[in-house]
Amino acid sequence: MMTRKPARVLLLKDARQKLAGPSPAPHPQRRLIDFIPLRLTAVSLLGVVAIYLGVLPSPNLAPSKLMADASGLIDLSTTGSVAPDAEPIRAKFSICASATRINCVVDGDTFWYGGVKYRISDINTPEISQPACERERQLARQAQVALLQTLNGRGLTLEQQEWRDTDKYGRKLRVVMQDGHSIGDALIARGLAHRWEGHKLNWCG
């Protein structure tokens, strides 16, 4: 024989269920995509800390300032570019006329300094040893004298502006600068040299 529960008991049970609320559903397993916003936030915070500590440059800096700050971090030996390293020229030069060559001028683009042979790397001048014609011989002598006079001037420096230190003949490749300008420009303006672009010009035409 079944007995019915009193109505009062049923009402109390129903009231308790309403007060407790629905049972929470089991949490599904979180997906990887749910963690992406958290990861992005962490990366952003790390970036702010790095800027504050000076590890990274501020995005508000001008591009020129960024390049200046980064210049000290670049290994120029691996980029193909060479930062000019100026070496002052302090000597009295003459025309090379003996086997012993210390400070003397060979021709318009070649000279000895401190017992080391140099080739001016940004210009080419007429050949003095094997000229192709009389005109080239005369121009070569003029270029030789012009270089001699210039090297005996003041404010001269040697700058390496190529990735190579020497050419195939063992001559050091340098640009001779005077007051911030290449002396080769003056020789070119006088018609005693041309800009070196990997080949020689015809001085006889």
Q: Where are the domains of the chain?
A: 34-62, 87-195
Looking at residues 58-65, what average pLDDT do you find? 45
pLDDT band at 177 (very low <50, low <70, confident <90, very high): very high
Higher per-residue confidence, 17 vs 168: 168
Per-residue tokens: 143: 């270029």
pTM of the model: 0.60
87-195 under CATH 3.10.20.30, yes or no: no
Looking at residues 40-58, what average pLDDT do you find? 51
* Contacts made by residues 194-197, CB under 8 angstroms, sequence distance 24+: 194/123, 194/124, 195/122, 195/123, 195/124, 196/121, 196/122, 196/123, 196/124
Which stretches within the chain are classed as H helix?
7-20, 36-53, 63-71, 134-151, 183-189
pLDDT at res. 81: 43
Please state, rounded to an integer, the average pLDDT across all residues of the chain.
Answer: 76
79-97 pLDDT per residue, tens: 344 445 789 999 999 999 9
